[in-house]
Structures are given as structure tokens and as C-alpha cells.
Amino acid sequence: MKYTFLYLIFGASFLLFTSCKQEAKEQISKKPNIVFIMSDDHAYQAISAYDDKLINTPNIDRIAKEGMLFTNASVTNSICAPSRAVILTGKHSHINGKIDNISPFNTTNVTFPQLLQKAGYQTAMFGKLHFGNNPKGFDEFKILPGQGDYYNPRFITATGDTIVKGYVTDITTDLTLDWLQNRRDAKKPFMLMYLHKAPHRSWMPAPRHYKEFTKKTYPLPTTLFDDYATRETTAGPAEMNILKHMTLRYDLKITDEVLAELNIEEHLGIGGLNKFNPQQRAEWDKVYGPINEAFKKEYSNMNDSTLMVWKYQRYMQDYLGTIAAVDENVGRVLNYLDDEGLTENTLVVYTSDQGFYLGEHGWFDKRFMYNESFKTPLLIKWPNVITPGTTEDEMVQNLDFAQTFLEVAGVIAPEDMQGKSLVPLLKGEKEKWDRDAVYYHYYEYPAEHAVKRHYGIATKEFKLIHFYYDVDVWELYDREKDPQELNNVFNDPDYAQVVSELKEKLNGLRKKYKDSDSLGYQYIQLYKDKGLIEE
């Protein structure tokens, strides 16, 4: 009787343990999958869900149609590598230490993929990370070194480097789908970071797209010939004007031979053409050869205005051509999720590491807190949670992704993360969202494009910016009356109360996020120590 009773107790305990273990496994498998899709320098103006004047992006738009489109999403620091560090850590640049594209990423930072991996998620990253050879928290990765190449790119893997023949956007997707199909553990939830190089400079489309897009003509931005009348000391010195600073050779693919004939001297080579194999180069020359010949004939008759327009059109043709491939490949991934029955339990995000200028204010590139670079596209779908076709105008940032993904996965976020989970907004619970302003800080100066150091605060109605280091200039923009941000009204008496209130609010945000003038000047000293600033 004694042994029979013990056997019964042991058997019952074993069955209970087995049942609990099975239930825990089932709970893990029910956790939502996360697919984070990010492109590099993809302007919201070049997504037709926001504006269809330039390009049609049906696959990216599909995420908004099946989910939510954010119209007030922004970044904390509009430059590639720092943006990615903010996304991974959920901390502002001055806290995670990655203030610019120059400084190394501090690998002691805890990232959300590490926390998801620890919580039972299978994790993978494919495409452009921009920094770090061995990203933490990933079961598998294949990433481009630095900026990477558009054609026949090299990838860094855990076991060594490899070169893959083809076009980078297609290859990144091939790698992603190969992992989903062949190495994903169906018993685990997964977090996949699918990261495109495009449409980063030097904007090299795939053959199927440059044959089409080089024939297109685009409407000119109304501010293409902006004279920076109220922003002479801040916007005026920036070196990102299409006419003055966009190169014919590197950016617009005019050959050395043509430049020599026209007595034009440039120092940047044609980006990425040295990666072509003979067949790819021959295909390229069939399309870009005639463009070179036409430019050679037209150049002597061009003035500054006509050259600016010509450069803008060439810029748009190649930039938008790269986006066409991104959109097609996003469709491939979305279709896979549908076909494999994964869509219903998968949260899908599409975003960019920041915004980008597409001729507004005469510019290309990013960096400023001005709207086109500060604002970033954000589209999220999560079936049975997000109401399809929803538009959300709350102030959200790339700072919020880490805590959002952790909450989706049922993981408690570390207390030192600085963002806010977007889950209440995704669920339509706006009453739980209490942010009415966001903070921004840009550091990389003196450096390429010469955008001065600045920090600021943005609300839905206003934007207050302080430029510092070699200037001391404040700017205020009325975002409702002046959406193009042409008129700095900081010294307008009618806005004195607004300035006072926003300065107080800005000081509060700086305190909340642990930023300060003294910390800003520590980073200036860091530049001096590195010889990037002359004493």
C-alpha cells in the first residue's frame, strides 16, 4: 500500500510537470512573431500610403491598409548608425553612446533582441546594420559591412564573410526567406530584422527598374529653390544642396570620359560600379550611356536653374528606382507569411532609419530636425489587434520600438529604457497615451554635409530648435501655419508666450532623458580628442 501510494504520487506529479511544461511550450509558441522591416533613408514622401505624387508602393501600403499608418513618427537623431542604436537599445544617443556614424557602438549596451532571445524567441537579422560585425542577441545573421554595395555585395556572417552575386535588395530578401523556410524553428516565436540598404546614396537601381525609371519625369518641390531667408546661419551653410553638392560622377553616374570632355573635375568615383561583373556593366551602359551622351550635348546650354532641375530629375529616377525593388521584395515576404499561415500571429513593422530630403529646400540627405529628415515612415500591422486602415497622429519615435516589441512578447522592459510602448496605440487605447512632445539631438559636426549641432522639442503644433557649438541660434516653427518650415518666428513678439512655454517644456524633457549642456560639451571634447575639431 505504501509503495503503491508513492507511485501514485510520483505519477501524478510527473503528469502535472509534463502538463505544465507542455502548457509553457504552447504559451511560448502563441507569442506573436515580430517582423521588423527597415530601409535606409526612405523618405515618407516616397511611400504612396503617405503621398502618391512620386511613386506607387502597393506592398508597403498594404501594411497600412491591413494595419496602422503613423503620421507623426519621428527619430531622435537623424543619421543612420545612431538611429539603429536607438532602435536596438531604446535609449537616446547620448545615453547609448552612439552619437554619430564615427564613434563605435558600445557593445555593453543591452539590446531588445538579446532580451527576446533570452525569453525564448528565435532571432535573425539580414541586411544592413551599419555597425558591428557580430550583433548580439541573434541566432543567425548575415549583414553588410558598413554601407554595403548594391551589386554583388559582401556579407558578414558568424562563420566568415561571403560575396553573393546579384542585386542587394533581392539578395537580402532571398536570405530572409531562406531562413524562414529552412531554419526557423516552428515551435518557437521569432523576431526577424529584415534591413534594406536601399535607398541609401549612391542610389543604384536594379536593371529591371533603371530601364523604366530613367525615362520618368517628376514634379518639382515647391521649395527646390529655397533661399533660407530666415535660416541663413543654420540651413544656409549645410552642404547638401542638389545643385552645389550632389556630384555628377558619384551620385548621377556621369562618366570620367564625359566629365573630362566638359572640363569638370570631381573626386568621388561612381559608387559601386567597380563591383559589376562584365554582364552587369554592359547592361548598365546600355541605359546610362545614352544619358551621358545627352548630358554632354546639353551641358553647355545649362544655367544654374536648368542644371538644378536636371540633377533633381536624375536623383529622383535613381532614388525611386531603388525603392521599387524594396516594395517588390516586401511583397515577397508578406506573401510568404500569408502562404505559410503566419500572418495572423505576426506583427509586421515597416519603417526607415530616418527621413530624407527629396529636393525640399533644395536638399538631399537628412540630419536636420526639419520635417523631412526628422519625420520617418511608420506602418504597422498586427491582425486581430490593430483595426485595419487606422491612421494615428500621436507623437511617436524610433525610441519606442524596443519597449513595444518587449511588451508584445510579454517581456518586462529594463527600467533604463527611455521610450514608450506603442501597444496602447496599436490596440486603439489612446487614453493610455500621454506623450505630447518629443526630443531630438544631432551631434555629427563638423563633418560631412556640415549640419550644425542642435537639439530641440517638437509638439504637434510647434518645433523649437537650438543650434549650438559654433553658433548660438534658436528657431521656432509653427507647424500648422508653416508646414514647410520656411519662417523662423522665434523673435516674433506674437510667439513670445509659445517660446517661453516650449523652453520650459524642453528643459523638462532634457532632464527626463538625462541630457544637458555639460554632456553635449563632453561630446564636443570627444571630437577634439579625436582630432575632428581643431582646438
Q: How much is the pLDDT for 30? A: 86
What's the pLDDT score for residue 32?
98
Question: Roughly what angle, to the nearest 10 degrees, separates helices 304-339 and 278-298?
Answer: 150
Helices within 427-516 (DSSP H only): 496-512
- pLDDT value for 286: 98
Q: b/e for 147-171, b at 16 or more Cβ within 10 A?
A: bbbbbbbebbeeeeeeebeebbbbb
Distance CA 224, CA 362 (A): 4
Please tell me the pTM assigned to this model.
0.94
- At 21 the pLDDT is 43
* Phi then psi dihedrals of residue 371, to 5 deg: -55, -50
Q: Is residue 33 helix, strand or coil?
A: strand
Task: Give me the pLDDT at residue 273, please.
Answer: 84
**192: how many CB neighbours lie within 10 A of its CB?**
25
Which residues of the chain have a pLDDT value below 50?
Answer: 1-2, 5-6, 8, 16-28
DSSP 239-283: S-BHHHHS-TTTTT---HHHHHHTT----S--TTGGG--HHHHHH
DSSP 236: T
How many beta carbons lie within 10 A of that of residue 471, not counting itself?
13
**Residue 271, pLDDT score:** 75
Element housing 93 (H / E): helix 93-96
Please check whether residue 354 is in contact with residue 366, taking contact to mean a CB–CB distance below 8 angstroms.
Answer: yes
**Measured CA distances, 432 to 386, 402, 417 (Å):** 16, 18, 19
Segment 189-242, tens digit of pLDDT: 999 999 999 999 999 999 999 999 999 999 999 999 999 999 999 999 999 999
* Separation between Cα atoms, residue 514 and residue 251, nearest integer Å: 39
